[in-house]
Structure 1
């Protein structure tokens, strides 16, 4: 599928008004099967990745996104792949789950028709190793959709299953389990109902629903205020989200009802429920990006509040999604260009040298970053790390709307990655949204204009330094050492200095 599909995808989202469209939260590729993990002040969102062409599931790797504010999402790139498992084939990287424990990170990954493997890493991004060199769980072809949970007493559990629901008690190592695999009964009492086979009046075998609902797949287990929750995809095709509750992680479970209807454009859905910075969120996927389908899905999120008795209300799916940030972005430290609230036409690339960056930017593409706090004193200049593409282009930096351009940076001539700078037309103070608009110098050559790696602003207090560009490019001040008043320093001593647009404490050598 060509890049222009994603331009149309985000444009389709904007049809109802840009300010009201946050879902799907990832617009740069098709993502599915969200698995959220809160650690410190960051929410880590692991996803599977759907193929961009054809039908059916061609899934070979998993992706990681992070946020500290719930409105901007940083693409951390491919976090793991089938290649991390020596025993895996070339397809079937299905819904993962990642959990930290004992100073390590554990990724439980279902491999199509081959069971559930486990990877161990030192960080949430890996690198990963496969300690077992085989599947941890491989007792049934329905061994998919794992979810791990550590109870308050330290006992860890792993749940999983499609049209069947099982669990084991994990050992402290998190890569083995004690006892036998236990099956959770799927009954009217536990999950609202079940399917049974029968023969009709002609002797033909048929299937009917007994009860009002049924468990399908995608379990998500967690604890809140002494109650255990089991949220899952339910109802068959198309799926919706339902849940059950228990006083114990091993049951018995009691069905509580449907909490989210079937998603638009997708016959499946997949839940992930977390609390983050005092608020509750539920992740799921739909097929709402342009070109989306049951095989090309997109992750979404909604904020909700529990009922007073701890039950979950019915949660509507919205285009608006989460629009209130729980934190602000600082413009005075390096921010990755792939940190995005909303984008049009944008794709990311990844390599060993730069990590993840925005790639192949065309005329009309843009990125929006929400809730950037410039403080009371404000900013006077901006720096961008970019590289020219096939054709010449420039970037417009806008505040709050695409019509309010406060700086323009010409990218032409940057054959390698270069940090460029521009003074702002006005001092920017307070909290604002930022737009980076990508434009062609020659509108007849609109494509492949540039790549974009990171950005940051300099505060107004660093006056006189804001026009110093990296690489000592012509027409600007020579690279050197400056104090916070913008004065060039020949013999630095102790203090804070600016060199190549970066702050250093002491001598920056």
Structure 2
């Protein structure tokens, strides 16, 4: 069904390709060749010495987030910074870099942290690292020449020194993509392998394996395993299809044991429009915030399968503990320093409210979220001074998945709706017939002093008054979060 009331800014502010054009000579790769180029950057990279930062969009990270085309990211938090480690770049995919950020907005290239030129047993095909902290050290697990290596450093930015021999070859034809998980009891496990799934315990030295190797896997497993634990349940995420496929994507399975058996649960990522192949993920929760997860992965907008880009979006669980499908975005995530307070999943109790903007008229009157003309059909949403019309009364219901349903109190009870589920900023906001899709789910997050931002599930942008217009009747759209008054909302008695 065509459901467009008003289409503002058509095609504007497209941020699907936001990385620096970079070219490298690649040789010796048969499967996962390193990325060699990307589309023009719309966010203006800033260079300072060896550091390169990709600027954020307002107070959001934007996607992609790294200033080069690369893939297969891992992410950790250490010493007040987030660190992302992707597949190696440089000659023959031999140079692993780390990228750091204090708040998920701007990422700085920390330089080469491991160079395969300094590894005795393999010098090419450096893919898919995994980094963990333990014993006062940082352990860097990686693929090289289709074997698994491990290097050690006292710093998350290296230099990492290889142990001198491969840690494992694994079983199967492609023993790649290592991931190390440390359980709450202190036992560490390494997961790896394409098609053949390998799981084995690590010794406390973190550079040698012990015990029996398991191959128990979900029936549709392909590659890129990643494990987290939540409420005594182990979640195994993994990628499906070859990385070159437009439908390369992430699925997951669960178990009560870190070595399985695994119960297949469902799909997490899907291609969206020009964004293809969203896969090979890592997950991190904000420090001290057990329910605030970030999902880091690669994707591409180019027909060149090697022009992959690293992106970040939020990840949520529903009330039954299932991972919700990731909402692919071009805006990314909001500023989130590791020291910032945790967000409350459902800060507003279910009930009926008038939703007031922080913007007032020039005479000082409040402006409220309002249905144009108090219309009972599908209609535009705007601002207006306070009236008795039920078009300014909104019924909130928390859906137990990080989002709310917001329905009008008018007799037809239309739903607050994002036009066409657009992921681009500038999309119009309206009321529409009630559906269960992402167009009609909204996240509410506190921004202090009783004010909130209201974020669309599709696109991750926030309710915003066009141009901050203080005139009653100004249109309401979604836009990237910038912390300005037109994006602040308060929930009052109706």
- 1:97 to partner: Cα distance: 0.4
- 1:140 to partner: Cα distance: 3.5
* C-alpha separation in 2, matches of 1:8 and 1:309: 42
**Are residues 1:39 and 2:58 paired?**
no
Comparing both structures, which one devotes a greater share of its residues to strand? 1
Match of 2:253 among 244, 253, 257: 244
Number of aligned pairs?
294
After TM superposition, the structure 1 = structure 2 runs for residues 130-279 of structure 1, keeping only pairs within 5 Å, are 130-187=162-219, 214-236=220-242, 237=245, 238-262=247-271, 264=274, 266-267=276-277, 269-277=279-287, 278=289, 279=292
* C-alpha separation in 2, matches of 1:130 and 1:50: 18
1:24 alignment counterpart:
63
* C-alpha separation in 2, matches of 1:12 and 1:293: 23
* C-alpha separation in 2, matches of 1:256 and 1:321: 26
RMSD, aligned α-carbons? 3.1
Gaps of 5+ in 1: 52-56, 188-213, 330-430, 434-509
**Are residues 1:287 and 2:300 paired?**
yes
* C-alpha separation in 1, matches of 2:138 and 2:127: 18
Residues 282 and 301, structure 1, Cα contact 8 Å, conserved in 2: yes
Match of 1:127 among 159, 163, 188: 159
**Are residues 1:85 and 2:96 paired?**
no
1:313 alignment counterpart:
324
**Are residues 1:106 and 2:139 paired?**
yes
Distance 1:67 1:92, change over 3 A: same
Distance 1:84 1:24, change over 3 A: farther
Deviation track 1:297-355 (CA, whole Å, cap 9, x = no partner) reads 110000132212221111121101113434699xxxxxxxxxxxxxxxxxxxxxxxxxx
Greater Rg by CA: 1
1:94 alignment counterpart:
127
Residue 268 of structure 2: SS of its match in structure 1? strand
Deviation track 1:254-301 (CA, whole Å, cap 9, x = no partner) reads 11100111375554721101101422110111123xx67321211000
* C-alpha separation in 2, matches of 1:294 and 1:50: 15
1:485 alignment counterpart:
none
Residues 81 and 338, structure 2, Cα contact 8 Å, conserved in 1: no
Distance 1:245 1:7, change over 3 A: closer
Residue 260 of structure 1: SS of its match in structure 2? coil
Residues 218 and 264, structure 2, Cα contact 8 Å, conserved in 1: no
1:355 alignment counterpart:
none
Normalising by structure 2, report the TM-score: 0.54
Deviation track 1:448-491 (CA, whole Å, cap 9, x = no partner) reads xxxxxxxxxxxxxxxxxxxxxxxxxxxxxxxxxxxxxxxxxxxx
Residues 164 and 186, structure 1, Cα contact 8 Å, conserved in 2: no
Residues 46 and 65, structure 1, Cα contact 8 Å, conserved in 2: yes
Normalising by structure 1, report the TM-score: 0.53
* C-alpha separation in 2, matches of 1:131 and 1:183: 26
**Are residues 1:322 and 2:333 paired?**
yes
Residues 70 and 88, structure 2, Cα contact 8 Å, conserved in 1: yes
* C-alpha separation in 1, matches of 2:84 and 2:64: 11
1:200 alignment counterpart:
none
Residues 281 and 295, structure 2, Cα contact 8 Å, conserved in 1: yes
- 1:74 to partner: Cα distance: 2.0
Residues 50 and 297, structure 1, Cα contact 8 Å, conserved in 2: no
Residue 307 of structure 1: SS of its match in structure 2? coil
Residue 236 of structure 2: SS of its match in structure 1? strand
Gaps of 5+ in 2: 1-19, 24-36, 46-55, 341-481, 485-494
